[in-house]
Amino acid sequence: MTATTDGSTGALPPRAAAASDIHSETPLAAGVHEAAERAARRATDFLLARQDPAGWWKGDLETNVTMDAEDLLLRQFLGIRDEKTTQAAALFIRGEQRDDGTWATFYGGPGELSTTIEAYVALRLAGDAPDAPHMAKASAWIRDQGGIAASRVFTRIWLALFGWWKWEDLPELPPELIYFPTWVPLNIYDFGCWARQTIVPLTIVSAKRPVRPAPFPLDELHTDPANPNPPKPLAPMRSWDGAFQRLDKALHQLRKVAPRRLRKAAMNTAARWIIERQENDGCWGGIQPPAVYSIIALHLLGYDLQHPVVREGLASLDRFAVWREDGARMIEACQSPVWDTCLATIALVDAGLPADHPQLVKAADWMLGEEIVRPGDWAVRRPQLPPGGWAFEFHNDNYPDIDDTAEVVLALRRVRHPEPERMERAIGRGVRWNLGMQSRNGAWGAFDVDNTSPFPNRLPFCDFGEVIDPPSADVTAHVVEMLAVEGLAHDPRTRRGIAWLLAEQEPNGAWFGRWGVNYVYGTGSVVPALTAAGLPGSHPAIRRAVAWLESVQNEDGGWGEDLRSYKYAEEWSGKGASTASQTAWALMALLAAGERESKAVERGIEWLATTQRPDGSWDEPYFTGTGFPWDFSINYHLYRQVFPLTALGRFLHGEPFAGKATVPATEAEGSG
């Protein structure tokens, strides 16, 4: 049942069932509306055919070859690397190399030094000779960029495991960090959950400083093999960078005098922390990096490979492998079944699938079974808040996330389930948990409350991307939209979220996208949320957003944005090759703003219809998701399907909850 703002309830009205007939004529021959209907039918059939029998959807989650390289390095370190796995990984890594000999972190992106170094070392493990043309080209480029010494800390940690780099030339990470109370700066809960799960095991690795015999030298990756790491000048003492550089030097000295008993106790405490957070399937947090470092850390403390914790951890890593038809093996950094399933459910209902369709009910059943009903690390900051959220992955009870919880609630609200009371209880818990995770500024982060300490990003160790989890416009928008649908548009907590969103609008009318690329994603998330909460399409903030979206529409009618917009916003904001997912985000915003009859919407719908494949899918090699803006990019293979279908459905049928909320006239007339 759907809660409305007047306190009544009512299920979503039934819609026309999807048809399976595929027409052969040109999509636009019968007009834009007919083309949209045809494209929506094809996309619906394509998506329904790919649901798992258990009820979930999951597309491949593609990142970059460091996942594959580090998987081989882990196996080399543990002595379990086998030829089949090595050659399958090497086949994938070679296939990702660019013409200039480098590897990038996203499709069409520039070569990236650390990624190229790790890929090169992995291919050396696979037997590729350093004088082979593709290897020589890579090593020459690496030297031109400053060699190993210029790479990120994490790359040099992997190399230090084999003596290719000196541990003493790495930033110190003391295990005693585990003892810092939450009120002390740089305690582990000042870090975002992904960084926290990685840093705790790395404190053990840093303390142990293991070295396995290197299978070959890497002199060709140094600018000067005789002096691979020349000293670098310190930043000014009065700067933050200078202060933390000197702190790191002090920690290196402290290592020499730290009481051994205290250090051993700290490592054992860290090990207990790690083991307590292992999931039922053996993984840690449902993501690859913490699992890799946790296995290494525990192994260094004496846990052998047959110990249940280590054995199940290794087995979980195997489940991140995607074997392709050509024999290549790609490692997913994470898996996204909850996210994919709730987005697929929203898309199918919005496109006209009946709310009680058996496959939607099965999807709802699966999502209900994935609800997290025990406290996790989030409870450190919210000890009195009852649990009730959803995570992103198959198994991740320690770290439900606010974004998934909001979208799951929006998905469940669209389904007419035979057990409505069960649905209501789960939705109620999810809404309560999301409200309880609101940060002080009125917005929402992804996993934690007020995870905004300025110190973690300053550490010399933390050069691998975002290590904190501040509130973002896209997550806040999804929560606001969900609260509006739940009849809470006028709740003071919702209004604080709306006020924060309005204040965060960029001067050009867009919103920054933290978890999707980038301003198109942020704007495509915020505008539907604001209108769902009752702001009219005439609101100045929405008019500015519409004007910006229209100004960045590509000549072909689609929208696209390159990941370079995170680094060079003025040049790349809203600019890039048209993609199915980004075109859909722009359309979702424009449709929410009341622009259904506009030329921009018509051209966008035409682009989706004409670029759809005969089987109902879209091609999208571009990366439109992010783990860390710029530093770690993601191609969600299901984005190209669920978001276009959602946009087509809303073009054809409108938004299912439109008109449920209104705002006072004084707020509606505000300038934002």
- For 377-411, write each residue's pLDDT tens digit: 999 999 999 999 999 999 999 999 999 999 999 99
Number of structural domains found in the chain: 2
| Pair (270, 372) in one structural domain | no
| Pair (321, 353) in one structural domain | no
Residue 4 lies in a domain: no
Mean pLDDT of the chain: 92
Tell me the backbone φ, ψ of residue 256, rounded to 5 degrees. Answer: -70, -25
* Burial call 82-113: b when 16+ CB within 10 Å, e when fewer: eeebbebbbbbbbebbbeebbbbbbbebebbb
Instruction: Point out the domain boundary residue: 309, 331, 353.
Output: 331
Residue 375 lies in a domain: yes
Residue 447 lies in a domain: no
Q: The domain containing residue 602 runs over which residues?
A: 33-59+336-437+472-668
| Pair (398, 514) in one structural domain | yes
Query: What are the pLDDT digits (tens) for 166-195?
Result: 999 999 999 999 999 999 999 999 999 999
| Pair (54, 76) in one structural domain | no
Sign of CA dihedral 512, 513, 519, 523: negative
- Which two tokens mark 444? 């929402």
| Pair (354, 233) in one structural domain | no
| Pair (370, 391) in one structural domain | yes
| Pair (584, 637) in one structural domain | yes
| Pair (208, 325) in one structural domain | yes
Please give the average per-residue pLDDT across 535-560, as a whole number. Answer: 98
- Coil, strand, or helix at residue 533? coil
Q: Which pLDDT value is given to residue 273? A: 97
Residue 180 lies in a domain: yes
Residue 185 lies in a domain: yes
Asked if residue 7 has pLDDT above 50, the reply is: no
Q: Which residue has the tokens 């396995």?
A: 212
Instruction: Point out the domain boundary residue: 282, 309, 331.
Output: 331
| Pair (251, 181) in one structural domain | yes
| Per-residue CA distances from 484 to 413, 480, 487 (Å) | 12, 6, 5
Q: Catalytic: which of 403, 469, 562, 631?
A: 403
Residue 118 lies in a domain: yes
Cβ-Cβ contacts under 8 Å for 296 (sequence gap 6 or more)? 74, 77, 78, 161, 201, 205
Query: What are the pLDDT digits (tens) for 237-292?
Result: 778 777 777 777 787 788 888 889 999 999 999 999 999 999 999 999 999 989 99
Asked if residue 18 has pLDDT above 50, the reply is: no
| Pair (273, 370) in one structural domain | no
403 is catalytic: yes
Instruction: Point out the domain boundary residue: 289, 312, 331.
Output: 331
| Per-residue CA distances from 209 to 74, 111, 461 (Å) | 15, 30, 15
Residue 256 lies in a domain: yes
How far apart, in whole angstroms, are the C-alpha atoms of residue 626 and residue 621?
Answer: 14
CATH number for position 549: 1.50.10.20
How far apart, in whole angstroms, are the C-alpha atoms of residue 431 and residue 523?
Answer: 23
Residue 324 lies in a domain: yes
Among the residue ranges 8-17, 620-629, 649-658, the one predicted with the least confidence is 8-17
| Pair (260, 376) in one structural domain | no
Asked if residue 26 has pLDDT above 80, the reply is: no
Asked if residue 9 has pLDDT above 60, the reply is: no
| Pair (54, 68) in one structural domain | no
> What percentage of the chain has pLDDT greater than the value 90?
85
Query: What are the pLDDT digits (tens) for 485-531?
Result: 999 999 999 999 999 999 999 999 999 999 999 999 999 999 999 99
At 458, the pLDDT band (50, 70, 90 cuts) reads: confident
The model's pTM: 0.92
